[in-house]
Amino acid sequence: MAYSGLQEFISFLELKGELVRISAEVDPILEITEIADRVMRRGGPALLFEHVRGSRWPLLINAYGSEKRMAWSLGAESLDEKAGEIDSLIQWAWSQLRDFSLLSALPEALSRLPIARSLMPKKVGRAPAREVKDEGGFDTLPIIQCWPQDGGRFLTLPVVCTIDPETKSQNWGMYRMQIYDDRTAGMHWHIHKDGAHFFQKYRAQGRRMPVVVALGGDPAVTYASTAPLPEGIWEAMFAGFLRGKPAEVVEIGDTGILAPADAEFILEGYVDPDEERLEGPFGDHTGFYSLPDDYPVFHLERMTRRKTPVYPATIVGIPPKEDCFLAKATERLFLPLLKQLCPEITDINMPLEGVFHNCVLVSIRKRYPGQARKVMHFLWGMGQLMYTKLIVVVDDDIPLKDLSMVAWRVFNNIDAKRDFEFSDGPLDALDHSSPKPRFGTRLGIDATRKWPEEGHDREWPDPLAMRLDIVELVNSRWKEYGIELD
């Protein structure tokens, strides 16, 4: 299912009983966070605040705050269903490379033409996001301050649209933006991100960098802007694939930038390469305040919007929060690609407590000594997985969603001297524990069954397990025992 925009998704959630409208007036400074935090911690619904103090526009939060709603946002009933579509496409592509036959490939290729067509964004001349030219600035929007020590109010779900000045490649990324005043905001893009890469090119040329910020739009676009795509792959193409229909884009002025046509608000402006201001602190998804630092400044020149827009927002903090489920979508959707590139991987779990990049649990089908370490370094070499502070590798008989089972295997299978792997490398800019910003030591733990070649000379015991015939006998007689279990 491809939504026509954020408001169609809102209607869908309401129809499903997954959205609550709040008519009471609320304060965007801290009050919305406290309400949303309580709802998120209990797995509650999306919230539409219809009267936010100081603004004409309603505010939506927690729209993606469960695996179910996250899957619905991508037009599926489950994230694994959507991952299955990706896996099917990957398997077909590899089969064609391996056993190409024109007679068999042509019918298959024709059946997949709609997928290919959905990848190419559709440029439109008229767009809902351009219906009204708004003379206001940031102060007209219901922008929230999330936590007490935050440096101010922040845009927390912006899709930041930029263009490479050399190659003209487009990029849509999600970077928080601290509001300084009605017309300026901090642009918090990390040095590892495409937006910052483009910015360095403008700086080298001594030119202002045009930037367009889209607020709202099809949920697939919002998610795609967070996805760890390979450099040079435009997020609009991935969004089109996810929604099964081309993402509609509109060109903004003479910048060459293509922005989501179905956005609720479009903010046009620029970043001056010679200007920086202190940004932060900000209560982050690590559950701690990220430290203040100097970042470029976005200058708002023009704003357009829908006639009756809805402002999208989120909060981050101690899990679970809405961003955890955006990350869970990435875990499931990119697993087929990881398994294709590293076939011994059978599953991956990024626990919410690890806030995406701090912990990855991976199960493997082990075939040779040292294979767990090979998998660790493979993952550290894959895009944003380079930030992973802890990788735990277990055998493929362990269900990774059962964290108690994983912990049991780790606590009992390791010898610290033998099974710890230390790797120095890049860390996320939000990490506060490393001795130096953006760089530190990552840890891998090999909790797989050990082989003699790995230095384990003793016999490795089998785990406890009941015989299957006894399990089936007890299953068949359970009602006779008269035992009630919760």
The Cβ of residue 81 has, within 10 Å, a number of other Cβ atoms equal to: 13
Helix (H) and strand (E) counts in the chain: 14, 23
| CA pair distance 274, 254, nearest whole angstrom | 22
106: left (phi over 0), alpha (psi -120 to 50) or beta: alpha
**Does residue 37 carry a catalytic annotation?**
no
Catalytically annotated residue among 262, 284, 323, 446: 284
Residue 485: Cβ-neighbour burial (10 angstroms; 0-12, 13-18, 19+): exposed
The torsion angles phi and psi of 219, rounded to 5 degrees, stand at -55, -30
Q: Which residues contact 300 (CB under 8 A, 6 or more apart)?
A: 137, 138, 182, 183, 184, 185, 267, 268, 269
CA 114 to chain centre: 26
Query: What DSSP element (H or E) covers 259?
Result: strand 258-260
For the chain, give percent helix, strand, coil, nearest 5. 35, 25, 40
**Contact assessment for residue 90 and residue 343, using Cβ atoms and an 8 Å cutoff:** no
Spatial CA neighbour of 437 closest among 191, 200, 167: 191
Give the length of the chain: 486
Q: Of all helices (H) and strands (E), which one includes residue 196?
A: helix 194-205
Cα–Cα distance list, 221 to 121, 141, 483 (Å) = 11, 21, 51
List Cβ neighbours of 345 (8 Å cut-off, separation of 6 or more). Answer: 335, 338, 339, 362, 363, 364, 375
Q: Give the CA-trace dihedral at 49, 56, 135, 123, to 10 degrees.
A: 40
Token code pair at residue 7: 């408001």
DSSP 142-174: -PBB-STTSSS-EE-SEEEEEE-TTT--EEEE-
Rounded to whole angstroms, how far apart are CA atoms 436 and 380? Answer: 19
Give catalytic residue positions.
284
